Chains A and B, each alone.
Chain A
Amino acid sequence: MNRRFNRGTVTILTLSFMTLARSAYAQSPNLFATFGQATPEKSFTFTPSAGGASFGLSSAIPVNFQYQTTNGLGPVGINIPALLTLSSVNQGSLITEGGFLIQPLQNIEMRFTSLSAPSNAGDLLRLSLTTGNLITRPGSQTASLTGTESPTGGSVVNFASDYLDFSVPLQNKNFSISLTSVEPRIADGGNGFLAPFTATGTGNFGSSPLPPPKNQIPEPGTLALVALGGLLFTRRRKHAA
């Protein structure tokens, strides 16, 4: 077989593959979606009860949701009115460490559904985590709910969406929600859980790489490179023939 043909073909195919690979596989996690409450209601609620505790929203609340990456719904960064639901339960008891109160949570489920045209019922984002942490300080009126997928085990984070493709391999999946206007102020409930409180929330979601949009069209630069490789491959075959 012609060695020049082989080396050239391999080079072209390798360059094409590397371009496609680089466009899909960055190592550093980045932001793909954000949300903020659209009203000041203290809808996030921590509720201890006999033998357990829950943290979430008693009913869906209106939020402003934005994709911060190319998506299958519309332009990046536009404000999408949405409804948010959230539920979780405690995983074990309250932990006290270094002046902080940490309430481990499990079975964290979040869902953002679009309220705006053209899709009034699309799932913008669904999130489920096996474990996360509610971190705060005694006497504070703020807290944070966070979760990170650990490569060594621990929390498992799953994302799903009607407009982003989470079927591709993703790493470093994470989210973080800040809570303010905590009322009453944070306290150890004395029963193994935080004392009950309500709060307002806003948050971010990320992964590496950024999830591609569903029904993605490759970038023009990538398409051009692959087409060039194909043309050169065809010319070489004709010369060889």
Chain B
Amino acid sequence: MNPLFKTTLVGLMLIATSSLGHAQTITFANFTQKYSGTPPVAPKVFEFVNTGNAATTGFTTTTLVNFTFLVNPSNPSIPVGTPIDANLTITSLVDGFSTGNFVPSQKLKSVQISFTGTGALAGQNLLTVFASTGVLSGSKGSATANLEETDNGSTQIVQYSSSFLDFSTSNQQNYSISLNNIDSPGLVHDGNFPSGYLASFQANASGQFASNAAFIPEPSTFALLSLGALGLLRRRRK
């Protein structure tokens, strides 16, 4: 087979395959918290609020973060692999009572995570996450915890939307937010067994988001395809 034709064919196959969605999930974005004020301190604004009432108990935050796309967004002016400022909000409700001894955990529902741009991207949807459920857990008494969820392979629990990434081909998604610097007594139940929740806490956080969506091909793939096409054109003219 003509090598240039083969190159073009490989490129076309890669494009076609990518349009169907990846078999594996890829972490496409992450965020880390930013400091504020003088002296600089990263505020512990990631909060689990326990009011004793299921309707008003849940996980919440509103803060400025570093947001990083790890795959090509549709706007070429947005850098890949380099943080940009973003406004983050998280809201959720609790889904049932907290459980576990060595690993206290709290099921959540209606988890909404939103990153909106600043500056030239002010108000634009960098990423919005809606997860019908989430799990907040960690080692008992620890200063750390984790908020996460994974699609179970048959039901889509986690849904993404963005002004810069196309998730229309995805059916497998997951996210994980790590929390730390929880004040004493750390991650614990509120003591109201069996009908209580995690005790209220405040924390710092960072996190990641993953999907098997067919993201815009890497620049190297386009280069491969272009090279193959150019070579074919030259040969045909000769």
| A residues lining the B interface (CB < 8 Å) | 28-31, 34-40, 42, 64, 66, 68-70, 76-77, 79, 95, 97-100, 102, 133, 135, 137, 139-144, 146-148, 172, 174-183, 185, 200-206, 210, 219
In the complex the two chains form, is B178's CB within 8 Å of A204's CB? yes
Contacts of B145 in A (CB 8 A): 176
Contacts of A141 in B (CB 8 A): 25, 150-151, 172, 174, 210
In the complex the two chains form, is B32's CB within 8 Å of A204's CB? yes
In the complex the two chains form, is A176's CB within 8 Å of B179's CB? yes
Q: How far is the CB of B105 from chain A (nearest CB, A)?
A: 7
In the docked arrangement, what's the CA distance between A148 and B33, Å? 19
Q: Name the 4 nearest CB pairs between A and B, nearest first.
A: A178-B178, A34-B32, A144-B146, A200-B27
Contacts of B24 in A (CB 8 A): 181, 183
The total number of A-B Cβ pairs within 8 Å is 224
In the complex, the chain A residue whose C-beta lies closest to that of B172 is: A141
Q: How far is the CB of A173 from chain B (nearest CB, A)?
A: 9
In the complex, the chain B residue whose C-beta lies closest to that of A100 is: B103
In the complex the two chains form, is A144's CB within 8 Å of B210's CB? no
In the complex, the chain A residue whose C-beta lies closest to that of B202 is: A28
In the complex the two chains form, is B178's CB within 8 Å of A206's CB? no
Q: How far is the CB of B129 from chain A (nearest CB, A)?
A: 12
In the docked arrangement, what's the CA distance between A101 and B224, Å? 43
Known: A146-B139, A180-B174. 8 other contacts (CB 8 A): A66-B66, A77-B40, A79-B82, A98-B99, A146-B138, A180-B176, A201-B208, A204-B206
In the docked arrangement, what's the CA distance between A182 and B210, Å? 9
A174-B180, A176-B179, A206-B181 given; A98·B103 CB < 8 A: yes
Asked if B96 CB lies within 8 Å of chain A CBs, one says: no
In the complex the two chains form, is B41's CB within 8 Å of A69's CB? yes
In the complex the two chains form, is B174's CB within 8 Å of A30's CB? no
Q: How far is the CB of A210 from chain B (nearest CB, A)?
A: 7
In the complex the two chains form, is A206's CB within 8 Å of B204's CB? yes
A40-B70, A176-B146 given; A69·B40 CB < 8 A: yes
In the docked arrangement, what's the CA distance between A177 and B30, Å? 12
Asked if B31 CB lies within 8 Å of chain A CBs, one says: yes
Contacts of A177 in B (CB 8 A): 178
In the complex the two chains form, is A174's CB within 8 Å of B181's CB? yes
- Within 8 Å by CB of B27, from A37, A95, A143, A176, lies A37
In the complex, the chain A residue whose C-beta lies closest to that of B82 is: A79
Most buried by B among A39, A76, A181: A181
Q: How far is the CB of B183 from chain A (nearest CB, A)?
A: 5
In the complex the two chains form, is A178's CB within 8 Å of B180's CB? no
Contacts of A77 in B (CB 8 A): 34-35, 40, 66
A68-B40, A97-B101, A146-B138 given; A174·B144 CB < 8 A: yes
In the docked arrangement, what's the CA distance between A204 and B32, Å? 8
In the docked arrangement, what's the CA distance between A178 and B30, Å? 10
Please report which residues of chain B, range 48-103, place their CB below 8 angstroms from some CB of chain A when the two chains form the complex: 66, 68, 70-71, 81-83, 99-103
Contacts of A102 in B (CB 8 A): 102-103, 139
Contacts of B113 in A (CB 8 A): none
In the docked arrangement, what's the CA distance between A141 and B150, Å? 6
In the complex the two chains form, is A135's CB within 8 Å of B42's CB? no
In the docked arrangement, what's the CA distance between A55 and B231, Å? 46
In the complex the two chains form, is A64's CB within 8 Å of B27's CB? no
Q: How far is the CB of B80 from chain A (nearest CB, A)?
A: 9
Asked if B4 CB lies within 8 Å of chain A CBs, one says: no
